[in-house]
Structure 1
């Protein structure tokens, strides 16, 4: 069952929340730049919630408050959507306090990435379409310095009814941003690198066209959820396409392999339709090659899944530009043509 939010429009009232970390408190200038881009580039009306500028210490001590604020955003008829300010490391602690019955009765657009993986995946497991995409400070604040196609694709996904819609790779990408404390380079990115596979997406294996519903996020954050009441049941996985990406903490290729192997041991890799791996942040060429080898060794050699479709270096997660990927919506992967197609609107 898919529960889709109402369509967004210009002048929509978008709540900004800090459900994980208080970086707007530490870096107000880059946060303000992100808010300004929400207003100027998308014509949203920004509603700053009380947590948005709280310190990390205040947020850390009050997981119930953070959850109740999300509950309030869903319940408030004057709020049309929710975007996180930034990620963090312990939003798993807010999950027990989410009013899931209320949230599912009042479905709304909610977007973030990294530590937001916890509540985006949990709510999607319950049926709500959620959005794995840029946050205010990381991805939105930098939009004027990213390839033009990035903003165009975001607007298409958020505002248009042009589906099926092919997700397009960009010709360049970057590992991150210039120092947020230097106001002279505010909103600028680290040097861009050429996408060697542009304009196609790269596939490590698979020769077929497959379809499935997106689910996943930051592979390290997903580790926080395993074994808890918020992890999906064994029958959840059959029509899914997994999303995995790595954070700025930069787990080694071997560590990513340890995490991936666990999905095999749970029987999940035998059930899913495909895997999308985001571009690994801060990896060297040698580390990227090592990651490819480990992924293929685990999937193909250890679990015998030599036809499981695997896309690699996809533009989502901790590098930029960031695609908006609607969790719970149907996607088609054509490994022969190197294409990724959103098959349905994520909105009602």
Structure 2
């Protein structure tokens, strides 16, 4: 895998909008996120799409792709972070300059609809990052616990070689209305985090991380941007549901499709992010669906499956580096990243 160079304070990050033009509608939320990135020590360059009109962005996927291409081509840019998710970034993939991206590996992070880009870049051979966006994650950074802030800065700047994925004591689901400027940087009341659930599997296994938002991945299936069969060998697939809260029955259909594609026969494990907006009963039903489809319908009862992890559409978020070796230890109930996500160069 092509790893991005290690990040340092003073490095320059490009901020851009490959999906929804949220900053044009909620500039106060966006500017708080930019301010927090600068407070971490980054130099932030706002690309044209970062604050472009949301309607104009929707109608111009080529413009959004151009910002991506330009950011990878610009030698002064050390990394790229998306402003927010959305629902149609899949439309920009045909306009991505694949050779340009492959020849200029850089830190690229986003989540939700940015799954189209993180997974595509990973298929091109790059390590990419599923993690906080400017408006959803960095804007609220000061509302999160000190332990999370230490984790995030440590991940970004220390490039640890190997470490156990942390479990944070509390989590937040959603944000107070962004229409109210006084809610800038705020999160909803915390809930107790009881930690991940190892719902099936035993022993120790490992594989390269790959995945993202399950609804977004559905938009890629059947296209030339979907992985070929051999790509799935020994991967650790991670999935999370969006704030749209898809019904458990719908998730069952999507999982069944992975089974029919032969994915569960090839991968090493499945990690599932904490679902946003689900009741405890719905969370339990989702976990039952995971075992029903993977174990009973497709006979993979030994495949490790871990749920309620700290990534996806609840906060704070773990950074999930696609292409990096992840170890699942079902006996000790631990997850470890086994290598640095960054190069030493």
Question: Which TM-score band applies after superposition, normalised by the shorter structure?
Answer: over 0.9
Number of the residue aligned with 1:25: 24
**Alpha-carbon distance, 1:184 to partner:** 2.1
- Deviation of residue 196 (structure 1)? 2.0
**Contact 1:276 1:312 (C-alpha < 8 Å) held by counterparts:** yes
Q: Is residue 2:59 matched to residue 1:64?
A: no
What residue in structure 2 maps to residue 131 of structure 1? 129
Q: What secondary structure is seen at the aligned counterpart in 1 of 2:10?
A: coil
RMSD of aligned residue pairs (Cα, Å) = 0.9
Question: Does 2:139 match 1:141?
Answer: yes
How many pairs were matched up? 343
Q: Using the alignment, how far apart are the partners of 1:309 and 1:149 within structure 2?
A: 28
Give the superposition deviation at 1:79. 0.7
2:76 alignment partner in structure 1: 78
Deviations 1:304-332 (A, max 9, x none): 11110011000001001111111001011
Structure 1: tracts of 5 or more residues without a match? none
Alpha-carbon contact 2:6-2:159 (below 8 Å) kept: no
Equivalent residue number for residue 231 of structure 1: 226
**Could you say which residue in structure 1 is the equivalent of 2:315?**
320
Given candidates 151, 166, 184, the residue that maps to 2:182 is 184
Check if 1:160 corresponds to 2:158: yes
Residue equivalent to 1:244: 239
Residue 240 of structure 1 and its aligned partner are, at CA, apart by 0.3
Give deviations 1:52-82, integer Å, cap 9, x for gaps: 0011111111111111111110110111100
Give the distance between the partners of 1:163 and 1:128, measured in 2 at CA. 18
Indicate if the aligned counterparts of 2:159 and 2:341 stay in contact, CA closer than 8 A: no
Distance across 1 between alignment mates of 2:300 and 2:146: 38
- Residue number among 23, 46, 49 corresponding to 1:48 in the alignment: 46
User: 2: distance between equivalents of 1:15 and 1:324?
Assistant: 18
- Cα distance between partner residues in 1 of 2:237 and 2:38: 32
Could you tell me whether the CA contact under 8 Å between 2:2 and 2:105 is conserved in 1? yes
1:115 is matched with 113
| Secondary structure of 2:15 counterpart | strand
Q: Is the 8 A contact 1:149 1:170 kept in 2?
A: yes
SS at match of 1:215: strand
Q: Normalising by the residue count of structure 1, what TM-score does the alignment of the two structures yield?
A: 0.97
Deviation string 1:241-286 (CA, Å, 9 cap, x unpaired) is 0010000110011111110110001000110000010000000011
How far the C-alpha of 1:289 sits from its partner, in A, is 0.9
Alpha-carbon offset, residue 218 of structure 1 = 0.2
Structure 1 stretches of 4+ moved >2 Å: none
Rounded Cα–Cα distance in structure 1 between residues aligned with 2:253 and 2:173: 24
Instruction: Give, in angstroms, the shift of residue 335 of structure 1.
Output: 1.2
Distance (whole Å) between structure 1 residues aligned to residue 225 and residue 119 of structure 2: 9
3-state SS in 2 of match to 1:86 = coil
Measured after TM superposition, the shift of residue 154 of structure 1 is 1.3
The residue matched to 1:110 in structure 2 has which SS?
strand
- What's the CA shift string for 1:188-234, capped at 9, x where partnerless? 1111111123xxx3211111111100001000000000000000011
TM-score, normalisation: structure 2: 0.98
Mark the runs of 5 or more structure 2 residues left unpaired by the alignment.
none
Aligned with residue 270 of structure 1, among 246, 265, 271: 265
Residue of structure 1 in register with 2:4 after alignment: 5
Structure 1 contact 178–187 (Cα < 8 Å) conserved: no
Q: Is the 8 A contact 1:173 1:319 kept in 2?
A: yes
